[in-house]
Structure 1
Amino acid sequence: IVNFAYDWLPFYLTPFFRIPIAHLVSMGSLSNALDQIIARVSQTFPGTLGFHTPSQAATFPNITPPIHYLSNGIDLSLYEFCDKPKQQLAWLGRISPEKGLEDALAVAKDTDIPLKIMGKIQDTLYWDSIYHKYENAPIEYLGFLSTKEMQQVLRECQALIMTPHWVEAFGNVVIEALACGVPVISYTRGGPADIIKDGKTGFLVEPDSVAGLIAAVKQLDKIDRQSCRHQAETEFSLEVLGDRFEKWFNSVRG
């Protein structure tokens, strides 16, 4: 049995099944009740918990090894490599306070490099507030786009800016950017810090440091975009993801 639900009940019911259950924990720690039941399952059934990244797993207390890190994967055929980007940056994700979009807007204002924003506006008041604060910056909101439309914009950008103010379990947008050959500049926080190869496929900067983001933008010419695509192909293809899951399932089965 495979459990993909980030919910208390499946973990609680685990001891009642004779069939092994593999639990993919899809988010970071959010509540004491879930933390406690997840820790109990890890102690009673070692090796049955899978996490996306070490940073995600570290948010949970008292997890008993072994811990399996499964990462994530995408269909690379949907993402086209671009070697010659335009002078523009991208920000991609849910528009809500924990995603820290205002920091990317500050980068656009300081560098005067156009910022393409893509994603669903989840918090309208937040969006209105930061948009009006930076309305004179070179920013453009493109809406929530299909994968095809999104990658057409993303691949032509010099970099993807990630500004999480919380611990991302993984960060799918990182590997979407890498698949297009786009380096990623992110705070050293959560899943992105476990994915980006600092100085090779992007840059990691001190959390909440807009100055660090700006400094990284000025170093983008040091990144080989082909290295970004290569990382996506070798670490985040569906085939590689399938192999990781198969090995994990086999270990859970015994």
Structure 2
Amino acid sequence: MKIAVLGHRRFPIKEPFAGGLERFTHNIVKGLQQKGCRVTLFAHPDSDRSLNLSLEPIIDTSFCLNSEEESHEAYLNIMDYLSEADFDLVHDNSLNYFPIILEDRLSIPLVTTLHTPPFSRLLSAVRYRERKQRGYYISISKFNTSLWDLETERLTMIHNGVDVDVFTYSQSVNNYAVWTGRIIPDKGTHLAIEAAQKAKIDLLIAGAIDDYPYFETKIAPYLNKGVEYVGHLAQAELVPLLQSAAVTLCTPTWLEPFGLVVIESLACGTPVVAFDRGAISEILDSQTGILVTPDNTKEMAEAIKKAKHLSRHACRARVLERFSLETMLNKYILAFECIVDKYQREKHASWLLHTPPR
């Protein structure tokens, strides 16, 4: 199968990953290639060239006035290029509404993975396509699926997966908690600090600082007071950090559509304490973590003390059973094959309907 994968234009798809979407895009491109698919990535020009990054079409955005205009011009050119290119399917991970709006230019199916809860522009584009009974979608959790409220015949739910050969198991434990992710208010880094201090446990923070005023006001004042910021880490540095932690904290202040950090931690054998918000309850069970009332750092502090004693073997087993990258890739390939087949049957039926009798 020949697949064109659309990444977004804000961050390169390369290590250290800016966030979960970049890691997902990297993993699915590499994984599909290893399973024999011919995959071409259309993404930020500084992305990893080993992903078979397309440098076509050559996109001139020098006349654009801002990043939004640059993205629109880029996707306009990419969709024009794909309308003439030789692919079986386009897999859209752009978080941009242009590919959905411009789907009619394609003679192959466009499959959009819904990585986020609905936001206005993307939702409007999806609803526009739904009215025409067009478009195929994959949602990353049951919770996120419920938020989008789309027709089930065009929507498949596939949980994200983690590469268990990279995020490997370790029994070795040190008495610290870890928080990792993009450092922005939506991820609630400051609440992890508050909970760790109440639990009297050191906290190591890793991730890209995407909101500097937030970091300076809510994070920096607590550094060197049982809190350490260890930087924006590549996988080779992040894995040992997770492996040795007694517990991982997950503190979203938004409706978390999945929680990739949770399965990465569990794959390393590290239990998780998380706010019971969004889809995280689909990942954790009583053997692998503790869910607490959202924003309740006192409750989280008490849970930290208990979670340290959960079975690390059970954490690893949970991922191997339900959330491995291998499982995710197999489900995506099956979904893609079904969509291509359905698209061709619908296209043939439409041709028959509009072909005048002889």
Q: Secondary structure at the match of 2:239?
A: helix
Q: 1:166 to 1:155 in 2, by over 3 A?
A: same
Name 1:214's counterpart in structure 2: 301
Asked whether the 8 Å contact 2:247–2:308 carries over to 1, the reply is no
Name 2:276's counterpart in structure 1: 188
Q: Secondary structure at the match of 1:75?
A: coil
Report the Cα offset of residue 217 of structure 1. 0.9
Report the Cα offset of residue 65 of structure 1. 1.5
Count of equivalent residues: 251
Name 1:145's counterpart in structure 2: 233
Aligned-partner Cα distance in 2 for 1:196–1:104: 18
Paired residue for 2:332, among 233, 245, 251? 245
Asked whether the 8 Å contact 2:189–2:219 carries over to 1, the reply is no
Aligned-CA RMSD value: 2.0
Query: Which runs of structure 2 are paired with 1:96-115 in the superposition (5 Å)?
Result: 96-115=184-203
Query: Which runs of structure 2 are paired with 1:225-240 in the superposition (5 Å)?
Result: 225-240=312-327
Asked whether the 8 Å contact 2:179–2:204 carries over to 1, the reply is yes
Name 1:51's counterpart in structure 2: 139
Q: Residue type of the partner of 2:292?
A: V
Aligned-partner Cα distance in 2 for 1:43–1:211: 47
Q: 1:46 to 1:70 in 2, by over 3 A?
A: farther
Asked whether the 8 Å contact 1:201–1:227 carries over to 2, the reply is yes
Query: Which runs of structure 2 are paired with 1:12-91 in the superposition (5 Å)?
Result: 12-31=101-120, 33-42=121-130, 44-45=132-133, 48-60=136-148, 62-66=149-153, 67-91=155-179
Name 2:310's counterpart in structure 1: 223
Q: Secondary structure at the match of 1:226?
A: helix
Q: Residue type of the partner of 2:269?
A: G
Q: 1:35 to 1:11 in 2, by over 3 A?
A: same
For each residue in 1:25-83, what CA deviation from the matched residue of structure 2 results, as whole angstroms up to 9, or x when unmatched? Answer: 2222221x3212213434644782101112223333x4222431122223211123122
Name 1:175's counterpart in structure 2: 263
Q: Residue type of the partner of 1:120?
A: A
For each residue in 1:211-240, what CA deviation from the matched residue of structure 2 results, as whole angstroms up to 9, or x when unmatched? Answer: 221121121155211111112222222221
- Where in structure 2 are there 5+ consecutive unaligned residues? 1-88, 343-358
Asked whether the 8 Å contact 2:129–2:135 carries over to 1, the reply is no
Aligned-partner Cα distance in 2 for 1:50–1:243: 14
Aligned-partner Cα distance in 2 for 1:104–1:6: 28
Answer 1 or 2: higher relative contact order, Cα 8 Å, separation at least 6.
1
TM-score, normalised by the number of residues in structure 2: 0.65
Asked whether the 8 Å contact 1:43–1:64 carries over to 2, the reply is no
Q: Residue type of the partner of 2:92?
A: N
Asked whether the 8 Å contact 1:105–1:137 carries over to 2, the reply is no
Q: Residue type of the partner of 2:114?
A: V
TM-score, normalised by the number of residues in structure 1: 0.90
Moved more, 71-80 or 10-19: 10-19
Aligned-partner Cα distance in 1 for 2:118–2:318: 28
For each residue in 1:71-110, what CA deviation from the matched residue of structure 2 results, as whole angstroms up to 9, or x when unmatched? Answer: 2223211123122311110000111111111111111211
Aligned-partner Cα distance in 2 for 1:140–1:185: 19
Aligned-partner Cα distance in 1 for 2:329–2:122: 27
The answer to whether residue 250 in structure 2 is matched with residue 162 in structure 1 is yes
The percent of aligned pairs where both chains have the same amino acid is 27
- Where in structure 1 are there 5+ consecutive unaligned residues? none
Report the Cα offset of residue 20 of structure 1. 2.5
Name 1:201's counterpart in structure 2: 288
